[in-house]
Amino acid sequence: MTKLVFTSLEEIPKIHAQLRAGFKTGKLRSIAYRKYQLLQLAYLIKDNKKQFEEALNADLGRPALEGHFLEINSSASEVKEAYCNVERWAKPEKPGFSLNFTVMRPVIYKEAKGVVLIISPFNYPLWLTVSPLAAAIAAGNATVLKPSESTPAVSSLLAELIPKYLDSDIVRVVNGSVAEATKLLELQWDHILYTGGPRVAKVVAAAANKFLTPVTLELGGKSPVIIDPQCDLEMAARRILWGKCVNAGQTCVAPDYVLVPRSFQDTFVDALKAAHKSFYPESAQPSKSDTFSRIVTPQAWKRIKGLLDNTEGVVVLGGESDEATKFVAPTVVRDIKAEDSLMSEEIFGPVLPIVPVEDIDEAIAFVNTRDHPLALYVFSNNAEVKAKGEGSSGI
């Protein structure tokens, strides 16, 4: 396992000051220079695809195909989009007509915020670092990247490559854990982007509040699925199972649990089993390291295993796990109640609880009594069911 070299606490304020000075030089006011940095970022990915593939496998057990599809290619696409559009994005705009302001002939000019902090998560350590970095460069900002300490191979590789490809006056990497993140949050930033869980988000928001720093928080949650018996069942089962299994379920918008009419639960379970069989034939079982990702850390594995061990539902698919390899098999658990262990928190793993309800109305009420999810998935071919999601009384 790669040993992550932490940035010294003494160095962090110096990095902040150096980036502040780099921003003040005004070099990023040039669109041409922003495009040059974006081009360099694209080459950073292109030239080191194999190294990123290996790093993703080391950190997350990520199969090569999945690594390229989910992160390497996606990151390159995000950078390309920024490169191709930065000139248009940066152009001044005239706002729509307003009787109050038209005499003043107002114009909106796009000004960079300054020095920004990006705290990226472990589940997509390349894509969710590169994508916001590309946006920050396109907007003319200097940036500090704080990658996750839970993915040491990717974080180390980013720390090695970024100084080789990008201008160190405007982009730097700070590696570390709680102490280093705390030191970063003691400093004044012009914007903070944090991707992760609500607990740390509260810490980030509180730190930003001291300086009235604008914050973007991209958080997870228990994203529900509602199944209407009048749906394309085969398609629904395949999409739900794929979303729950890709990256071993460690995706913020992964389906967390399914609400299905009680009379349709058996049929839905059978469809999931059929989808699983087509995804993972005997020659490509999830237990094989080249077909299925692994849980990121031993602590995360134990948390998921604990939720599964304490469920009162019935495991109808999967259930296998291995602590040594941080493996949790794609697992379906039926007959889940609202107070079950699997409903106590975001699962963030390949375990899918099925909650039986009487009908779609009860499913909607179930969702509405809980915290707002990051995503909601409804599978239905019925126009009336779809319409129930519209308006304040719907989903």
- How far CA 48 is from CA of 41, 119, 170, 285, 354, in Å, comes to 11, 22, 21, 29, 41
> How far apart are alpha carbons 300 and 83 in whole angstroms?
37
Give the strand pairing for 215-219 and 314-317. Answer: unpaired
Q: Are 128 and 189 in contact (CB under 8 A)?
A: no
> How far apart are alpha carbons 393 and 395 in whole angstroms?
7
Q: Are 190 and 136 in contact (CB under 8 A)?
A: no
218 catalytic? Reply is yes
- How far CA 176 is from CA of 6, 56, 125, 180, 187, in Å, comes to 5, 18, 14, 5, 16
Phi, psi of 95, deg, nearest 5:
-70, 165
> How far apart are alpha carbons 138 and 35 in whole angstroms?
7
Instruction: Please measure the distance between the N-terminal and C-terminal CA atoms of the chain and give it in whole angstroms.
Output: 44
Annotated catalytic residue within 252, 346, 362, 384: 252
Annotated catalytic residue within 54, 81, 149, 218: 218
Class of residue 372 by CB neighbours under 10 A (exposed 0-12, middle 13-18, buried 19+): exposed
Q: What is the SS3 assignment for 98-118?
A: CCCCHHHCCCECCCCCCEEEE
Unique residue bearing structure tokens 């493996």: 327
Give me 231's structure tokens. 């749906």
- How far CA 217 is from CA of 120, 193, 253, 255, in Å, comes to 11, 6, 14, 20
Residues assigned a catalytic role? 218, 252
